[in-house]
Amino acid sequence: MTHLDIKPYISEEKIQKKVAEIGATLSKKFKGEPVVAICVLKGSFMFYSDLIREINADITCEFFGVSSYHGSSSSGEVKVTLDLANPVEGKHVLLVEDIVDTGLTMNYLMNSIQSRKPKSLTTVALLEKPEALKVPCKIDHVGFQISNEFVVGYGLDYQGYYRNLPYIGQVQNFQ
């Protein structure tokens, strides 16, 4: 494993406060109705599991596996590694992503879900890098907007590692 120099960037406390805020907003929005919450694997698993516990609605869980990132910059190609197990037609769908960088992955996911004709689609991302956007990508709920730097922790990895950090860290001197 490559040991990186990681500077704490967004603390566990700040993340949990933001997750509770987004959860409260979504609880009001869904008004207790059934919702299919989609976890985008692998990066959003930690955010997703914290967020759904803050939403007061009848939630069923689905998992969408995509891989789109190699090293420190997005490849632009989205590969589906795990498709949804059940149809979402006619259902309220909540799509939970870890981070929007170029926007290509979120764009791909939104198109893929819209083509399955949900009743509604709400998008949420914990992090967004507005300076890195390459395609228009309107996310309904964003936790934190960050600068165009590589971050790890709270689900986000570098070569598969660092996902278990409870906070988000900025990688120093990253090539």
Selected binder of ligand 5GP within 30, 47, 150, 154 (CB under 6 A)? 150
Q: Is 104 a residue that touches ligand 5GP (CB under 6 A)? A: yes
Q: Which of 13, 1, 5 is nearest to 154 (CA)?
A: 13
User: CA geometry: angle at 23 spanning 100 and 46, to 5°?
Assistant: 55
- Among 83, 101, 140, 157, the one annotated catalytic: 101
* Binding of residue 123 to ligand 5GP (CB under 6 A): no
> For this structure, is 98 an active site residue?
no
Of 103, 118, 143, 169, the one binding ligand 5GP by CB under 6 A = 103
What tokens does 97 get?
């992503």
Instruction: Please pick, from the candidates 10, 39, 105, 141, the single residue that binds ligand 5GP as defined by CB under 6 A.
Output: 105
Choose the binding region for ligand 5GP from 53-61, 82-90, 103-111, 114-122 (rule: CB under 6 A).
103-111
**Neighbouring residues of 5: CB distance < 8 A, sequence distance ≥ 6:** 171, 172, 173
Cβ neighbours, 10 Å, residue 28: 9
To which H or E segment does residue 73 belong? Answer: strand 73-82
Interface residue list for ligand 5GP (CB under 6 A): 43, 68-69, 74, 97-106, 150-152, 156-158
